[in-house]
Structure 1
């Protein structure tokens, strides 16, 4: 079911031509800064992969991939990627990337099960990135260092937008706030996960929530994660589980938090076995990706995705992701958005 946030008195700060120019400038500038901060080289990525190899991202395990048969390969089935979380790690190995360096690419996906609204579309576009790390890097402090580097690129991009369009005033705080999902639960025990995200993002402006995928002290997860890419069970020095997290900012237009990036240190063999066992998914160990990980032919890595359309929505102070990207929307939503000064592309 679609859901529409209706900001009172919303009026776009940019017309359509200014918006298209702004999108181009943001994407060019941010990916250049991201590449520089994390020492990433650009690679070409697939739109689809073969089914049954364990390469496609399973997200929460319930989303249906778009699939189709390939006539010239005996009707074998291919799937449009949900993301490139596992494909990137294979690529790091195949390209022989050294520790401290990595790759990034434009990831385009179709997610037919998305609940369409201001921030969710059938079409997903993001920068997917992955970097080789060492055993010594597999800790929360290294995760925070990488987050700070990404956030530095975000700060510079926001200022670039302000220089282009002075009517768009910077919102981002100088520093991003870190908090573990368990600490967040203790801080706001009366709120659900989305409510907790809104509360902490509104308080600090930008926040990175550590530990997404494992159960908290209330027996529930903050949010779901597939068991075979992010490490959400390894404990830190304080006994809190998780070497991954989500980067959120507070959006003044929509008056809510927006998740701009999901990322984390990836599973090693021990974490993979533990997380698959917890989910009852040990059968995945027979898949191509998992065999490569278990036979030590994949490097240790950290990686994530950064939403392109969402980043542009935030920087250009738009109220609906359909003002940034072309997609399919319910007729009723298109009509309502036009009445609310939110013309959908």
Structure 2
């Protein structure tokens, strides 16, 4: 309960009926805009995958996937996905998607090890997207261009929400600021990673933080990132590592920053081998997904995930993600939220 933020004087600006209507409005509008901006087609995605194929997302490498035996497969185990980062790349190859086009889908996950607070739930819902690129596209500038197109869709969604519900007032900046995690460390050397994110987001309103996963000059990572999807070890044009990053937004309702999207240019063969070696996970080279990539059977790609409940929370000015989605919360958190004007679904 110590992590629960209780904004003083908070009052939901939309009642439950308006909130449910707003959620549908935002989800329908944003996903269509995202698909148009990035030339994506919608596909159907799995809720779970077979264990041992290397397809599930390992996130920071410590989160335990929810798993269960399958009776008709001799009790082979399935895992509820953490995200679809690697599954999407297999799907791009299966569908024969051409460079410049891609796919998006609704991703639903259960993260049993999540520490629950205003932004973190056991239930995760996001738009997972992935697009085919060429070798020439594997640049920091290309990544920035895609980020700006995504942010333009976010801004249009904010405009729509505020038009439909005049009690909501826009707060997002007109442009997104780019900063590398190493530069951020140099700017705020005495702060923790989270404190640095808060400081830069408070200053600019919205930032794309580049280079998540590689060690910085202080010997620490800004944050963990699995070695087999984002390319965080390639040296980009600015001489720093990383072709990936996070979209972070300063949220005035909670007076803190929060991550809306994690994305990046994906590993090619060389980056995969390099990052598996850095992390001491060379044995993963024998897994199905990794063999497909190393044998040249998967296209080069860029992709990421955008939180659905988080986007709705942002657009509808809610103080707790449980005001947007139905999940399980500790009884004491529900009671404290009720007293603080944050009734959870």
CA 308–2 in structure 1, closer or farther in 2 if over 3 Å, else same: farther
- SS of the residue corresponding to residue 104 of structure 1 reads strand
For residues 135-172 of structure 1, the C-alpha deviation after alignment (integer angstroms, 9 at most, x for no partner) is 00001000000000000000000000011001111111
2:218 equivalent to 1:218: yes
**1:88 aligns to what?**
88
**1:251 aligns to what?**
251
Task: Give the whole-Å Cα distance in 2 for the aligned partners of 1:2 and 1:27.
Answer: 31
For residues 273-327 of structure 1, the C-alpha deviation after alignment (integer angstroms, 9 at most, x for no partner) is 0000011100000000000000000000000000000000011000000000000
Task: Give the whole-Å Cα distance in 2 for the aligned partners of 1:65 and 1:212.
Answer: 22
Does the Cα contact within 8 Å between 1:334 and 1:344 map onto a contact in 2? Answer: yes
* Alpha-carbon offset, residue 2 of structure 1: 6.8
CA 2–299 in structure 1, closer or farther in 2 if over 3 Å, else same: farther
**1:269 aligns to what?**
269
- SS of the residue corresponding to residue 167 of structure 1 reads coil
Does the Cα contact within 8 Å between 1:135 and 1:300 map onto a contact in 2? Answer: yes
**1:323 aligns to what?**
323
Residue correspondence of structure 1 range 326-345 to structure 2 within 5 A: 326-345=326-345
* Alpha-carbon offset, residue 239 of structure 1: 1.2
Task: Give the whole-Å Cα distance in 2 for the aligned partners of 1:241 and 1:279.
Answer: 16
Does the Cα contact within 8 Å between 1:264 and 1:303 map onto a contact in 2? Answer: yes
- Structure 1 gaps of 5+ residues are none
CA 242–210 in structure 1, closer or farther in 2 if over 3 Å, else same: same
Residue correspondence of structure 1 range 175-186 to structure 2 within 5 A: 175-186=175-186
* Alpha-carbon offset, residue 55 of structure 1: 0.1
TM-score of the two chains, using structure 2 as the length reference: 0.99
Task: Give the whole-Å Cα distance in 2 for the aligned partners of 1:5 and 1:130.
Answer: 34
2:126 equivalent to 1:118: no
TM-score of the two chains, using structure 1 as the length reference: 0.99
Task: Give the whole-Å Cα distance in 1 for the aligned partners of 2:146 and 2:237.
Answer: 18
Residue correspondence of structure 1 range 15-34 to structure 2 within 5 A: 15-34=15-34
Does the Cα contact within 8 Å between 1:54 and 1:289 map onto a contact in 2? Answer: yes
**1:72 aligns to what?**
72
**1:47 aligns to what?**
47
Task: Give the whole-Å Cα distance in 2 for the aligned partners of 1:304 and 1:103.
Answer: 11
**1:196 aligns to what?**
196
Task: Give the whole-Å Cα distance in 1 for the aligned partners of 2:175 and 2:118.
Answer: 27
Task: Give the whole-Å Cα distance in 1 for the aligned partners of 2:290 and 2:340.
Answer: 48
- SS of the residue corresponding to residue 304 of structure 1 reads strand
2:296 equivalent to 1:293: no
Task: Give the whole-Å Cα distance in 1 for the aligned partners of 2:187 and 2:135.
Answer: 32
- SS of the residue corresponding to residue 131 of structure 2 reads strand
**2:302 aligns to what?**
302
- After superposing on structure 2, the runs of 4+ consecutive aligned residues of structure 1 that deviate more than 4 Å are none
**1:143 aligns to what?**
143
- SS of the residue corresponding to residue 35 of structure 2 reads helix
**2:160 aligns to what?**
160
Does the Cα contact within 8 Å between 1:140 and 1:236 map onto a contact in 2? Answer: yes
**2:228 aligns to what?**
228
* Alpha-carbon offset, residue 238 of structure 1: 2.2
CA 2–285 in structure 1, closer or farther in 2 if over 3 Å, else same: farther
Task: Give the whole-Å Cα distance in 2 for the aligned partners of 1:48 and 1:308.
Answer: 19
Task: Give the whole-Å Cα distance in 1 for the aligned partners of 2:160 and 2:222.
Answer: 34
Residue correspondence of structure 1 range 90-109 to structure 2 within 5 A: 90-109=90-109
* Alpha-carbon offset, residue 237 of structure 1: 1.9
Cα RMSD over matched residues?
0.7
* Alpha-carbon offset, residue 236 of structure 1: 1.1
